[in-house]
Amino acid sequence: MLSVRRIIPSLVSISVKNSSSLGGHSPQSVVAKFIHGCTEANIDTVVNSICGSFRKGCNWDILTQNFDSVRLNDLIVEKVLLELKEPTDAKRALAFFHWSAQRKKFEHGNWSYCITIHILVQARLLTDARALLESVLKKNVGSPLRFSYRLMLNSECLRLLLMSAAIWKNMASLQAL
């Protein structure tokens, strides 16, 4: 119940400032959805609230306080990253990636790394993309075969990384001119 109490003030303040950020739902209905299970509408509401908070520039302490009761999973993380995929939101996507990595009981998989790296390359944030690529490689350093196998199993992730590499190469050759 304590975690629900923490999220209620943030939901109320969001709805008072901008009722469209909750998709027209009242704070009471959003809290009820949090309490009564994880539905697709609930996930979309959480995703929209998280994205809205990052777009407003909330700091990590406020984000953690507001979303303490939300248990992050791969689906929520993927949806937030895809919502923040535009180049204008790339820094926010990276901030979300790092913030969510600090959350208890959540660890990024290769898919969220791939999505984030692709977002960063599309936004021409190559230094950040390279750092994240190095990070995922270091994370899997003890098991490069397992990492390669998982990457090949997830063809969409591999496709994103290959597209990012091609964009990266083209941008590097343009900078050399």
Exposed e or buried b per residue across 115-142, where buried means at least 16 C-beta atoms within 10 angstroms of its C-beta: bbbbbbbbbebbebbeebbeebeeebee
Q: What pLDDT is stored for residue 167 in this prediction?
A: 72
What average pLDDT does the segment 56-82 reach? Answer: 93
Residue 175 binned pLDDT confidence (cut-offs 50, 70, 90): low
Contact 42, 33 (CB under 8 A): yes
Task: Confirm whether pTM is higher than 0.95.
Answer: no
